Amino acid sequence: MNKILITGACGQLGSELTANLREIHGNDAVIATDISEPNPQMGNGPFEHLDVMKSDQIDEIIGKHQISVIYHLAALLSASAEQKIDLAWDLNMGGLLNILKAARDAQIERVFWPSSIPSFRPDTTKDGTPQNSPCNPATVYGISKLAGEQWCAYFHRKFGVDVRSLRYPGLIGYKSLPGGGTTDYAVDIYHKAVQEEPFSCFLEKNTKLPMMYMDDAVKATIDLMNAPSEDISIRTSYNISAISFSPEEIAESIKKEIPGFNISYAPDHRQDIAASWPNSINDSQARHDWNWKPAFSLDEMTKEILENLPAFWDIKAV
């Protein structure tokens, strides 16, 4: 049986990916790891404390559980990384290199590692940013993602490690809370809306960013990992896109379900980060190579999220 190791499994993406992989492969096949404590969203199954900055711990867990596939998610996200640049570099880069070396030495079959849209540069083509756009990132997070993409391509070219990657846009879900990214507002806004509280947004109202519903992100990740090796033409990281919207547009979408919803704007330091990112992404290579296609539009995502937050039904009942 293929045993799967997930690092950073307690995070926003890790919790949902762990639960999905456990549904597909069975609870015991998925070893969730993190420096934090496990949460109920991850489902039941084995959990180990693992600090990805400690290579001996990685080797020990790979050996103990006979791991053959790794999803390496542990990282410091964009907004937090700007506050702690040394930790961001040590964790995002050191953790990835530890995983890549462990994968090479233990002959792991497949590795997944996420990059992100901040690997692009501020003055790149902002609409429909192409796969091979120039990359001069403006943040330490973006620098770490760009360098990580090149390390992945290097380990594939030099050592034959089958590592695959996606440049995720902002990920939005309702099951787990975000961990310090610049697109976190698009998760928080739904929780405030169902509490019938006004929402103060830390981005300007017309700041359009590429986003994706969590179900689409999990599907893209699993589809990429299931694709035959010969179909993978990008060994740095694939562009993927789903929806692009501004705070004003997500607020309009919420108002279709909760007409009294109120939003105001108080941009902070995260506005500068967001301003350096693309508005939308061209993902034609992912669509061509492994048939990527998102399922959720903005309004479909809004409806799905609201209907899964119990407080929404209290508003409807009034």
117 CA to centre of own chain: 10
Tokens read off for 182 = 């610049």
- Please choose, out of 166-174, 202-210, 220-228, 309-317, the segment that lies near ligand NAD by the rule CB under 6 A: 166-174
Residue that the structure tokens 């993978």 belong to: 232
- Indicate which single residue of 38, 179, 210, 247 sits in contact with ligand NAD (rule: CB under 6 A): 179
Whether 238 and 280 have beta carbons less than 8 Å apart is answered as: no
Q: Does the footprint of ligand NAD cover residue 138 (CB under 6 A)? A: no
The one catalytic residue in 71, 141, 174, 238 is 141
User: How far, CA to CA in Å, does 167 sit from each of 119, 135, 227, 237?
Assistant: 8, 13, 17, 6
Distance of closest approach, residue 264 Cβ to ligand NAD, in angstroms: 23
Q: Does the footprint of ligand NAD cover residue 73 (CB under 6 A)? A: yes
Backbone angles phi, psi at 266, to 5 degrees: -140, 75
Indicate the residue among 93 and 315 with the shorter CB distance to ligand NAD: 93
- Indicate which single residue of 183, 221, 244, 282 sits in contact with ligand NAD (rule: CB under 6 A): 183
Distance CA 74, CA 80 (A): 13
- Please choose, out of 74-82, 154-162, 256-264, 281-289, the segment that lies near ligand NAD by the rule CB under 6 A: 74-82
Tokens read off for 144 = 């770490």
- Positive or negative torsion for Cα 213, 80, 12, 184: negative
What angle do the packed helices 310-317 and 185-194 form, to 10 degrees?
40
- Indicate which single residue of 43, 114, 137, 278 sits in contact with ligand NAD (rule: CB under 6 A): 114
- Indicate which single residue of 38, 43, 181, 247 sits in contact with ligand NAD (rule: CB under 6 A): 181
Question: Is 213 among the residues known to form the active site?
Answer: no
Distance CA 155, CA 111 (A): 11
- Interface positions, 86-105, toward ligand NAD (CB under 6 A): 91
Tokens read off for 275 = 């301003």
Active-site positions read: 141
Binding site for ligand NAD (CB under 6 A): 7-8, 10-14, 34-36, 50-53, 73-75, 77, 91, 114, 116, 168, 170-171, 178-181, 183
